Structure 1
């Protein structure tokens, strides 16, 4: 009588491994969503939704940790030695691609790219230049500092710079997510503080305070 076929190690662990891989992907995406959303918003032409996931920024360190733990465990499950079972069993078919080490490697690389996204997000933003063509009268040059809530990475800085530079009369824009502000030098004969605040607000980030320098 033929022995009963027993499931292979790969088939036994496939559901658990898939769950860990899925959790790792979700955690990696969650850790980067606050910086991915502004870029997607610009591409979709709906920049007002850019700050929708800024509330995830304080959770980013924890999400990075979760990503490392769950993918590390998935690799442990994949690489641990198989238990030896003495039986006259039929050989099970080769596991499919989604159960393979190659797939887990791709997922790990993708997660790493997502986690690093905030550090290189700014390169994807359009490099809008200030539209000022003629040297302004020095008496018309003013600088304003606008405090902004909701920025989370260098991509957010590029987003604000891009929107403000679309205005006529902008001479220089320096935005810092670390300082939660933007410093704008402008020609007051061509634009004003209200227009600059409106451009910042159009990104989806919140203007909290404005000070003229």
Structure 2
């Protein structure tokens, strides 16, 4: 295999690693992208990928690791004493960029909440008898990006005082003013995101 073919092969490994990282993070990127695009109804579209995430992460690490191995191993061709200048796409610098991008994609669930707007904290006085707390079972949450989407949807309903969600328990807890809203309105707001509230 000549240097040109080897460089092309290295580029393919890099691309495959980046693609695997993108697939691994797709279930987490989609809720945030949907929110930012204003089409929150597709937030849970790729939640079915979540069970495969550990395998995709493993494949990503192997592919990027192999690309680094190919790039760093000594090359010696007794028939060619020439030095070839590879294009930028075939350099260690580009592989470093790919490695950082894959790391950012794989870590996306841990910083995805930063993309959602902070809820304005307002002091609201409500009679204790008017405050209702409900716990909702939510289908489709797989990461902190999903949590943030559900929490943001519930918090956007007028009359909601507090909202929290956990993908671990697949539940959302919402505290609201009964005189301003109700369970059905909150459920409808969450269902609009693409996640589903299980009614008992």
TM range (shorter): over 0.9
Distance in 2 (CA, whole Å) between partners of 1:38 and 1:83 is 48
Provide closer, same or farther for how the CA distance between residues 187 and 84 of structure 1 changes in structure 2, counting only shifts above 3 A.
same
Residue segments in structure 1 that go unaligned for 5+ positions in a row: 1-6
Instruction: Say if 2:199 is the partner of 1:206.
Output: no
**Contact 2:8–2:90 at 8 Å: present in 1 too?**
no
SS in structure 2 at match of 1:171: strand
Once the two structures are TM-superposed, the CA of residue 156 in structure 1 deviates from its matched residue by: 1.4
Q: Indicate the residue corresponding to 2:10 in structure 1.
A: 17
Deviation digits for residues 137-187 of structure 1, max 9, x if unmatched?
A: 222211111100111111211111111111111111121111101011111
Q: Indicate the residue corresponding to 1:4 in structure 2.
A: none
Distance in 2 (CA, whole Å) between partners of 1:208 and 1:163 is 16
Residue segments in structure 2 that go unaligned for 5+ positions in a row: none
Provide closer, same or farther for how the CA distance between residues 125 and 172 of structure 1 changes in structure 2, counting only shifts above 3 A.
same
Q: Indicate the residue corresponding to 2:173 in structure 1.
A: 183
Instruction: Say if 2:67 is the partner of 1:74.
Output: yes
Give the alignment's TM-score, normalised by structure 2: 0.93
Q: Indicate the residue corresponding to 2:87 in structure 1.
A: 96
Q: Indicate the residue corresponding to 1:145 in structure 2.
A: 135
CA RMSD of aligned residues (A): 1.8
Q: How many residues align structurally?
A: 200
Once the two structures are TM-superposed, the CA of residue 118 in structure 1 deviates from its matched residue by: 0.5
State how 1:1-213 maps to structure 2 within 5 Å: 8-9=2-3, 11-85=4-78, 87=79, 89=80, 91=82, 93-129=84-120, 134-209=124-199
Q: Flag as ranges the 4+ runs of structure 1 deviating above 6 A.
A: none
Once the two structures are TM-superposed, the CA of residue 130 in structure 1 deviates from its matched residue by: 6.8
Give the alignment's TM-score, normalised by structure 1: 0.88
**Which is worse superposed, 12-21 or 61-70?**
12-21
SS in structure 1 at match of 2:113: helix
Once the two structures are TM-superposed, the CA of residue 8 in structure 1 deviates from its matched residue by: 4.6
Higher radius of gyration, 1 or 2? 1
Once the two structures are TM-superposed, the CA of residue 209 in structure 1 deviates from its matched residue by: 3.2
Deviation digits for residues 67-119 of structure 1, max 9, x if unmatched?
A: 0001111111111111331x4x5736411001111111110111011111101
**Which is worse superposed, 69-78 or 12-21?**
12-21
